[in-house]
């Protein structure tokens, strides 16, 4: 994949680039986008990947529930 410099409102803990080809960094970044991103940031995510990774993501309870409900609603 690629390296990105995340938007400050999504990731404020570092100024370093994130290597999205690294599975751990990619999973962490997706969690940050789901938790702190704006609609346009979330829309850029790969929905199949988000759905697959959702059980593994470290998300606040309310954020996790929102995405679980979303995928349950859009299923079928």
pLDDT in tens, the chain (76 residues): 589 888 989 998 777 899 999 999 999 999 999 999 999 999 999 999 999 999 999 999 999 999 999 999 887 5
Global pTM exceeds 0.75? yes
- Within 13 Å, how many C-alpha atoms sit on residue 13's CB side? 5
Q: How far apart are CA 24 and CA 17, in angstroms?
A: 14
- pLDDT at residue number 76: 57
Q: What is the pLDDT of residue 26?
A: 95
**22: CB partners within 8 A, 6+ apart:** none
Residue 41 pLDDT: 96
pLDDT at residue number 67: 94
Q: What was the pLDDT predicted at 1?
A: 54
DSSP symbol at 19: E
């Amino acid at each position: 994949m690629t390296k990105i410099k995340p938007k400050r409102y999504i990731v404020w803990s570092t100024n370093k680039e994130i290597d999205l080809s690294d599975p751990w960094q990619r999973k962490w970044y997706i969690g940050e986008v789901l938790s702190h991103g704006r609609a346009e940031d979330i829309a850029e995510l790969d929905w199949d990947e988000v759905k697959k990774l959702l059980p593994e993501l470290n998300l606040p309870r309310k954020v996790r529930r929102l995405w679980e409900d979303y995928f349950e609603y859009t299923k079928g």
